[in-house]
Amino acid sequence: MEFIRGAYNLQSHHQGCVATIGNFDGVHLGHQAIIQQLLTKASDLSLPSVVILFEPQPREYFTEGEMFAGVTLGATPARLTTVREKVEVLTMLGVDRILCLKFNKAMCSLTATQFCQKVLVDGLAIKHLVVGDDFHFGNDRCGDFAFLQKTGVVNGFSVENTCTYEVNGERVSSTRIRAALKSGKFELVESLLGRHYSISGRVVHGDQIGRTIGVPTANVLLQRTVSPLNGVFAVRVVIAGAAEAVPGVANVGIRPTVGGRQMRLEAHLLDFNDTIYGDRVIVSFREKIRSEEKFEGLDALKAQIANDIDAAKMFFMQ
């Protein structure tokens, strides 16, 4: 897989491809169905497949209540996957190239016509585009499925609609997954993603508070403006290079008992004593144990963590 950061890095050998555009947050089963359409068409035409992403995601660029393309935006949605996590899943699915476009003032000022000319025609010289019929882009809000079809006729590319993917009679969407995560419905989350929900990152040094109370934790930066999870969870942690996942209990939150302010992921690995600072880990969430709460002091927190560890062990024994 080739990762291309920015349209300015497109070269002549990148021209001629089958492409799709979207946030692909979560890379859920609905997204995977789109990717399969993309790969099938690319194979039929003997062309490379390209996924076009925006970073940050457009809704993250704007503050709550701002207007974009005539639409007033609400609160920034929780980020399911970082760009690295998206790339990892898209690579496993077999995508040839990912073009990551920086969503900034210059990008959001482009009209639909300007975006098509700059990226799709001049940059990639696409031969086929896979997008949903509800897809919209451009600061004039003119970029929709019909617009792309007309543009394709003039510029020599065809446009294909995407299929709706449903689970239990409802469309699979990132919004539905966020709601399921918030409610702790991890079986539903797995059925929508096609895998367990996970957060990956590198283990960094924290405040060492967990170690002082006998519960050392692996601290992982969330790298998200808004986290889709909050609370205490039974998790499995895959450490880079390790053969098996390690069970654990993780807290995602601000740690109010110790005066924390920044959202953080802290995972205590059960029956594990190795030092893993600097290692990359994948924390896979299996069950919500409780919501985050503020305790009167470290002794009360320590007692509750002991209960959380027991709950996690009971879950993994089932």
Torsion of CA 250, 316, 89, 135, to 10 degrees: -80
Choosing among 3.90.470.20, 3.40.50.620, 3.40.30.10, 3.30.565.10, the CATH entry for 2-167 is 3.40.50.620
pLDDT confidence of 129, banded at 50, 70, 90?
Answer: very high
Residue ranges of the chain assigned to CATH 2.40.30.30: 197-317
Return the number of other C-beta atoms located less than 10 Å from residue 150's C-beta: 10
Provide the mean pLDDT of the chain: 90
For the segment 298-312, what is each residue's pLDDT rounded down to a tens digit?
888 888 999 999 999
Q: What is the pLDDT of residue 73?
A: 55
Q: What is the pLDDT of residue 4?
A: 98
The rounded Cα 145 to chain-centroid distance in angstroms is 25
Tokens (6 digits) for 158? 């065809």
Q: How far is it, in rounded angstroms, from Cα 121 to Cα 139?
A: 18
Residue ranges of the chain assigned to CATH 3.40.50.620: 2-167
Q: What is the pLDDT of residue 239?
A: 95
- Average pLDDT over every residue of 197-223: 84
Q: What is the pLDDT of residue 255?
A: 75
Architecture category of domain 197-317 in CATH:
Beta Barrel (2.40)
For the segment 18-55, what is each residue's pLDDT rounded down to a tens digit?
999 999 999 999 999 999 999 999 999 999 999 999 99
Region for 179 from its dihedrals, namely left if φ exceeds 0, alpha if ψ lies in -120 to 50, beta otherwise: alpha
For the segment 66-100, what is each residue's pLDDT rounded down to a tens digit?
555 554 455 788 999 999 999 999 999 999 999 99
| pTM of the complete model | 0.91
Torsion of CA 315, 181, 224, 274, to 10 degrees: 10
Going by their DSSP bridges, the two strands 264-269 and 218-220 should be labelled as: antiparallel
Q: Which of 163, 22, 161 is nearest to 95 (CA)?
A: 22
Going from the C-alpha of 121 to that of each of 18, 31, 34, 129, 137, the distances in angstroms are 12, 24, 21, 11, 16
Q: How far is it, in rounded angstroms, from Cα 104 to Cα 47?
A: 30
Return the number of other C-beta atoms located less than 10 Å from residue 95's C-beta: 21
Going by their DSSP bridges, the two strands 218-220 and 198-204 should be labelled as: antiparallel
DSSP string computed for the chain: -EEEESGGG--GGG-S-EEEE---TT--HHHHHHHHHHHHHHHHHT--EEEEEEES-HHHHSPTT-EETTEE--SPPPPSS-HHHHHHHHHHHT-SEEEEEE-SHHHHT--HHHHIIIIIIIIT--SEEEE-TT--BSTTS-BSHHHHHHHHHHHT-EEEEPPP-EETTEE--HHHHHHHHHTT-HHHHHHHHTS--EEEEEEE----HHHHTT---EEE----SS-S--EEEEEEEEETT-SS-EEEEEEEE--GGGT--S-EEEEEETT-----TT-EEEEEEEEEEE-----SSHHHHHHHHHHHHHHHHHHHH-
Q: What is the pLDDT of residue 22?
A: 92
Q: What is the pLDDT of residue 283?
A: 97
- Contact yes or no for 283/237 (Cβ under 8 A): yes
